[in-house]
């Protein structure tokens, strides 16, 4: 009998700087898994993905001033709710979950960008039993490319940070990718839309 059990990665996260092109490529990634997982695909994002998570997103991205630790704890609060209400139920049904930003963003932005360091995030992650992603696509672009791509937008609270902040965030992502090469695929994302799409296709085919 042909098995309909899902195979391949189930929790897939997309990571990279603001303006690196994650959301631009998401439909292609979702379509890939829809063709492979008969149980379906759930597309979601962080911070957000639930009603309370979207409210926390608004605070984190628009509030004038937050202690970095407040920012970190708000992001974990949103994540716990997201896992409970969206991610865990979908995984339990054998669905693929494609999440636009997830745990590595916290390491990159709050750990490296804000300078809170990895041990605090490791500790919270363990205590809260945050499920690690099975596969992470890291859209890597130089900071200047990301800045240029979002030139037309009104920056949110995090996007308003300077170049040095985003250099640290990029270093953070790169360090995470180096530390876990079996989970990460680094997608060189500074090229044209067609080039990045091709790199995404290659990454998905290689890690399926
Ligand atoms: N390969 C590319 N070449 C040129 N422009 C691109 C490319 N990929 C995306 N863009 C453009 O760059 C902008 C940012 O892309 P996108 O919104 O997908 O980034 P993002 O990683 O989702 O950012 P954020 O983290 O802020 O949501 C968009 O205007 C998009 O059309
Ligand atoms: Mg996006």
Domains and CATH numbers, the chain: 11-207 (3.40.50.300)
Is the separation of the CB atoms in 102 and 46 below 8 Å?
yes
Pick the atom of ligand 1 nearest to 24's CA.
18
pTM: 0.96
Of 135 and 9, which is predicted with more confidence?
135
Per-residue pLDDT tens digits for 137-195: 999 999 999 999 999 999 999 999 999 999 999 999 999 999 999 999 999 999 999 99
How far apart are the C-alpha atoms of 118 and 101, rounded to whole Å?
17
Provide the percentage of residues in the chain whose pLDDT is more than 70.
97
pLDDT at 1: 45
Pick the atom of ligand 1 nearest to 159's CA.
26
Q: Tokens at residue 149, please?
A: 């791509």
CA of 29 to the centre of ligand 1 (A): 15
CA of 90 to the centre of ligand 2 (A): 22
């Amino acid at each position: 009998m042909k098995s309909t059990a899902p195979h391949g990665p189930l929790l897939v996260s997309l990571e990279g700087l603001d303006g690196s092109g994650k959301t631009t490529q998401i439909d292609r990634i979702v379509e890939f898994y829809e063709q492979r997982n008969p149980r379906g695909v759930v597309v979601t994002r962080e911070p957000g993905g639930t009603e309370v998570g979207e409210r926390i997103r608004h605070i984190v991205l628009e509030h004038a001033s937050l202690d970095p630790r407040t920012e970190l704890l708000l992001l974990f609060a949103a994540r716990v709710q997201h896992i409970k209400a969206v991610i865990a139920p979908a995984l339990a049904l054998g669905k693929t979950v494609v999440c636009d930003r997830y745990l590595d963003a916290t390491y990159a932005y709050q750990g490296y960008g804000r300078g809170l360091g990895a041990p605090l995030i490791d500790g919270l992650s363990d205590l809260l039993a945050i499920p690690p992603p099975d596969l992470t696509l890291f859209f890597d672009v130089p900071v200047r490319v990301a800045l240029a791509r979002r030139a037309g937008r009104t920056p949110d609270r995090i996007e308003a940070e300077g170049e040095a902040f985003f250099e640290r965030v990029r270093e953070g992502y790169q360090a995470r990718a180096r530390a876990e090469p079996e989970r990460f695929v680094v997608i060189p994302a500074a090229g044209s839309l067609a080039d990045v799409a091709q790199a995404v296709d290659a990454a998905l085919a290689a890690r399926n």
